[in-house]
Amino acid sequence: MLQLLCKLASRSPWIYRINAGSCNGCDVEMATTALIPRYDVERLGCKYCGSPRHADVVLISGPLTLRVRDKVLRVYNEIPHPKVTVAVGVCPVSGGCFRDGYTVGADIDHYIPLDVIVPGCPPRPQAIMEGVLKAVEVWRARLKESVCSHS
């Protein structure tokens, strides 16, 4: 039974997006990976989902603002293990142009471990898709370690 679960789960990772206070530039580029056939992540076997409880990969955009920090952490903790975190753009990593602003706290990696970083302001859809591919590789490796090794 665990082998079947491992085989099924490793084929179709689900993606959830979290906006941690961005200017929405990265979010527009992420939307192209869901809406435009040229950059469609479903070609890679991934699907966007509307609930963090169904997600395997989480895309985070924007600097972690003080106003949404607790909400972002609560949503992040709802995502089941094994999960992979992708920072989209420079803001989650360094604060970007919002760095040292009175509304921006520490970088996201002080609160949430980042597995993949997609640089850019905003990153191009091709770069986001490459980041998703790397995240899927990490997720499959973690899934194999946690679930498939017990079979």
Asked if residue 1 belongs to a domain, the reply is: no
The number of folded domains in the chain is 1
- In this structure, the strands spanning 116-118 and 84-88 are parallel
Domain that includes residue 24, residue range: 14-143
Asked if residue 149 belongs to a domain, the reply is: no
What tens digit of pLDDT does each residue of 92-130 get? 999 888 888 888 888 899 999 999 999 999 999 999 999
Assign 35 a pLDDT band (cuts: 50, 70, 90).
confident
The pLDDT value given to residue 150: 58
Asked if residue 127 belongs to a domain, the reply is: yes
Residue 110's domain is classified under what CATH number? 3.40.50.12280
The pLDDT value given to residue 92: 93
Q: How many CB atoms lie within 10 A of CB 116?
A: 20
The pLDDT value given to residue 5: 57
Asked if residue 4 belongs to a domain, the reply is: no
In this prediction the pTM is 0.88
The pLDDT value given to residue 98: 86
